[in-house]
Amino acid sequence: MTKPRVAFFDFACCEGCQLQVANFGETLLDILNLVEVVTFREVMSERTEDYDVAIIEGSITTEHDVERIKHIRSRAKVLVAYGSCATIGGINGMKNKFPLDEIGKYVYQDKAKNFPTLPTRAVHQVVKVDYFVNGCPVYQPEFVKVLKCILAGIPYAVPDYAVCVECKLNENICMYDKGITCLGPVTKAGCNSWCINNGNICYGCRGMVTNPAKNGQMDILKKFNIALEWIINKLDMYNKPRELDERK
Amino acid sequence: MSASKNVKVNVEYLTRVEGHGNIVVNVKDGKMEECRLDIVEAPRFFEGMLRGRSIFEAQHITSRICGICACGHSLASILAAEDALGFTPSPQTIKLRKLLLHQEMLDSHILHIYLLVAPDLLGVKSFVPLIDTHNTVVRRALRMKKNCNDVCDILVGRHIHPISSIVGGFTKLPQPKDLDAMLEILKGLQPDMEATIELLGALKFPEFSRPTEYVALINNTDEYPLMEGELGSTDGLKLNKKDYRKVTNEFIVDHSSAKHAKASRESYMVGALARLNLNYNKLHPKAKKAAEFLKIKPGCTNPFMNTVAQAVECVHCLEDSIAILEDFKENGVKQEEAIIVGLNEKGTIPVKAGNGVGAVEVPRGILFHNYEIDNTGKIINANCIIPTSQNCNNIERDMQKLVPEILNKTEEEITLMMEMLVRAYDPCISCSAHFLNVKYVNR
């Protein structure tokens, strides 16, 4: 069997998800036995236009990004949205809360015109995506699962139940019971409730479940006397570009 | 021959977290007409996006500026927020933060030394060919990196975007078994560190010198300052961190949309070499021994030696981490200091209007975060100045001095030297790789 040729590409992001690959340690060498990494800017200078699997990190925020991702899509047999920025727009999406020319002027003053920008979009909002690896950063065990699916040529389904399911299995005390709001009840699982295990809350980096228990969540908000807009504000930290989905 | 030489180097589309950039070198008839490095900040608009968010969320958001320096950004953000709020962290919290910063320093320096610099010095394009030719070296690099990550996993949940380190302290504190686990990992790292120093001793770094101003944190104690003290420089600068703008003096140059920085003279350098030049005496004895072996001394003006300074810092960070952990083992970790996330919801830390600065020595140099908040704790203004922006001007001036000195070399050799120079500053792992796409025009 010939090894699939894998290329990593980064758009607007912190490149931490690519780094998660380098963080595999010596396991990386085992992975390199199964795939041939042909482009990986963060650690390699070799590069090529000939690849089977394109792994996309980052969100689409400029006209140039749009052209580039379309070009990559046209060459790749399989396209993977990798990390929150790529799968849901992520942190970059907070920009969409502001008028673009206003935020441009705030950061770059009179040089703002040198930095033309579009509303932040997730990759699937521009081209077709075959696999989603959610999370900020991606959770390595899940990435390995997705890689196996790609190699086997079968689809990978991102868990579409709440983080709370995993959180309960990890026997964490519910944040709401500690008087803290948490986005676990509306966020897709698959991270093994990484943040809550470490004493923090869920920030919704994996995106919202497609069918959240809306009424149940409303009851929770009422019970703990939490304003809806407070939750929405928290949700907008990673999930603001979801509005562009809804508009379609 | 070099008198009539034409050289045109054009490295375009250098992108990275902080920016796109180009290297442009143009020598006509042996005379340098252009020689510059443009780094432009990529539009992610972090400072703009922060406005309106709670100061308690700043750390989570700004950690995402850079996956490589996530702990550093996170810590600079926390320090700025606490400064704005007038909150003083506990000695235990400070010690744990130091331990965290050490892991980041180790992780990043190891990545730079092995994956970026070593391939150049061994004459290959990346670490991939080294898997076959230098398998033990590659395995060692990946193992060392994994070790740092494993310590971060235990300490803060993960290295990339730490979870439990927030404004006020830590949401989860290490248990005795965690201290043992971290100690075991770090002690296991010691032989690999020795091998790293030996490897570096066998590599030959280019000879070059250009005296410049070196800027780093300085202090009055015996400690190698990474998160405390004042801003200092080899030109005698001494300023409170609140006055960071007097150091960075960002200015706009005609040829580039990137802001440049200068302090006492035309440019300055931040990073491992700057820290070593200013604070050599405060390094751990084992680190000093490594420095002697690697023949690097304070007063070094060769930017290529920044990589060597990083190796010396690795030894320091490793040994100091072990010392911190042993101290915790002896005196225990006060579990009651664990804080509950959502401090502002609980009103644990009183909120007031303020303006705070965080200055942290991250792997590539001094990093500043500055927030202004209103009396509800909402961010009104934010400013982050990263080390790479500060070094940009200095790199360019090094390039301008270096090119005329190496005109007798081939274009390929000149390009490689320029790439190696920029890479020595470790401007950020990902952008450096872009320098390999060098184009010669008009040849």
Is residue B356 classed as helix, strand or coil in its secondary structure?
strand
pLDDT over threshold 70, residue B285: yes
* A178 & A124 share domain: no
Residue A43: partners with Cβ closer than 8 Å, 6 or more residues away: A22, B115, B126, B127, B429, B433
CA dist B389 to B62, B270, B395, Å? 17, 10, 10
Kindly state whether B340 is in contact with chain A, defined as any CB-CB distance less than 8 angstroms: yes
Ranges A20-24, A180-184, B5-9, B367-371: which has the least confidence: B5-9
At residue B259 the predicted structure's pLDDT band, cuts being 50, 70 and 90, is low
Q: Which residues of B touch A116 (CB under 8 A)?
A: 43
Mean pLDDT of chain B: 87
Q: Tokens at residue B238, please?
A: 């001494």
In chain B the first and final C-alpha atoms are separated, in Å, by 16
In whole angstroms, what is the distance from residue A223 CA to residue B217 CA? 49
Domain boundary among A152, A187, A216: A152
* A52 & A129 share domain: yes
Structural domain contains residue A41: yes
- ipTM for the predicted complex: 0.93
Test mutation, B11, B18, B45, chain A, max A CBs within 10 A: B45
pLDDT over threshold 90, residue B119: no
Q: Which residues of A touch B125 (CB under 8 A)?
A: 44-46
pLDDT tens string B214-237: 999 999 999 999 999 999 999 999
* A15 & A132 share domain: yes
Q: Which residues of A touch B16 (CB under 8 A)?
A: 15
User: What is the model's pLDDT at position B15?
Assistant: 33
User: What is the model's pLDDT at position B389?
Assistant: 80
CB atoms inside a 10 Å sphere around CB B262: 18
CB contact under 8 A, A26 and B146: yes
Beta pairing partners, B429: none
Enter the pTM of the model.
0.92
Domain boundary among A152, A182, A211: A152
* A64 & A137 share domain: yes
Q: How many domains does chain A have?
A: 2
Kindly state whether B57 is in contact with chain A, defined as any CB-CB distance less than 8 angstroms: yes
Structural domain contains residue A190: yes
* A148 & A169 share domain: no
In whole angstroms, what is the distance from residue B161 CA to residue B159 CA? 6
* A148 & A68 share domain: yes
Looking at the partner chain, which of B145, B170, B341 has a beta carbon nearest the beta carbon of A180? Answer: B341
> Which residue type is seen at B385?
I
* A73 & A11 share domain: yes
Looking at the partner chain, which of B125, B156, B340 has a beta carbon nearest the beta carbon of A45? Answer: B125
CB of B28 closer than 8 Å to CB of B443 = no
User: What is the model's pLDDT at position B252?
Assistant: 59
Beta pairing partners, B26: B8, B34
Structural domain contains residue A122: yes
At residue B6 the predicted structure's pLDDT band, cuts being 50, 70 and 90, is confident
At residue B113 the predicted structure's pLDDT band, cuts being 50, 70 and 90, is very high
User: What is the model's pLDDT at position A45?
Assistant: 64
Residues listed for chain B: 443
Q: Tokens at residue B409, please?
A: 């070399």
Q: Which residues of B touch A6 (CB under 8 A)?
A: none
* A113 & A210 share domain: no
CB contact under 8 A, B163 and A194: yes
Domain boundary among A152, A179, A211: A152
Minimal Cα–Cα distance from A16 to chain B, Å?
4
* A119 & A48 share domain: yes
Closest CA to B61 of A242, A95, A104: A95
CB of A46 closer than 8 Å to CB of A77 = no
pLDDT over threshold 60, residue B438: no
At residue B16 the predicted structure's pLDDT band, cuts being 50, 70 and 90, is very low
In whole angstroms, what is the distance from residue B206 CA to residue B81 CA? 42
* A118 & A185 share domain: no
CB contact under 8 A, A94 and B61: yes
Strand-pair category, B238-239 with B230-233: antiparallel
User: What is the model's pLDDT at position A189?
Assistant: 97
Structural domain contains residue A158: no
* A129 & A38 share domain: yes
CB of A46 closer than 8 Å to CB of A39 = yes
CB contact under 8 A, B157 and A178: no
Structural domain contains residue A235: yes
In whole angstroms, what is the distance from residue B438 CA to residue B354 CA? 47
Structural domain contains residue A18: yes
Kindly state whether B439 is in contact with chain A, defined as any CB-CB distance less than 8 angstroms: no
pLDDT tens string B421-435: 888 998 764 433 333
CA dist B368 to A54, B164, B236, B390, Å? 36, 22, 20, 11
Ranges B81-85, B119-123, B294-298: which has the least confidence: B119-123
Structural domain contains residue A157: no
Angle between helices B176-202 and B285-293 (to 10 degrees): 20
Test mutation, B120, B134, B430, B437, chain A, max A CBs within 10 A: B430
CB contact under 8 A, B48 and A97: no
Minimal Cα–Cα distance from A78 to chain B, Å?
23
Q: Tokens at residue A67, please?
A: 């052209």
CB contact under 8 A, A18 and B67: yes
Looking at the partner chain, which of A20, A41, A203 has a beta carbon nearest the beta carbon of B430? Answer: A41
Minimal Cα–Cα distance from A105 to chain B, Å?
9
pLDDT over threshold 60, residue B23: yes
pLDDT over threshold 60, residue B18: no
For chain A, list residues with pLDDT below 50. Answer: 248
Structural domain contains residue A147: yes
Print burial letters for B139-158: b (CB count within 10 Å at least 16), e (below 16): ebbbebbbbbbbbbbbbbbb
Residue that has been written with the tokens 């003053």 in this structure: A109
User: What is the model's pLDDT at position B348?
Assistant: 81
Which ranges in A181-223 belong to alpha helices (H)? 194-197, 214-223
In whole angstroms, what is the distance from residue B130 CA to residue B118 CA? 10
- State the residue range of the domain holding A82: 5-152
At residue B19 the predicted structure's pLDDT band, cuts being 50, 70 and 90, is very low
**CATH code of A28's domain:** 3.40.50.700
* A18 & A126 share domain: yes
CB contact under 8 A, B341 and A200: yes
CB contact under 8 A, A115 and B43: yes
Residue that has been written with the tokens 């015109």 in this structure: A113
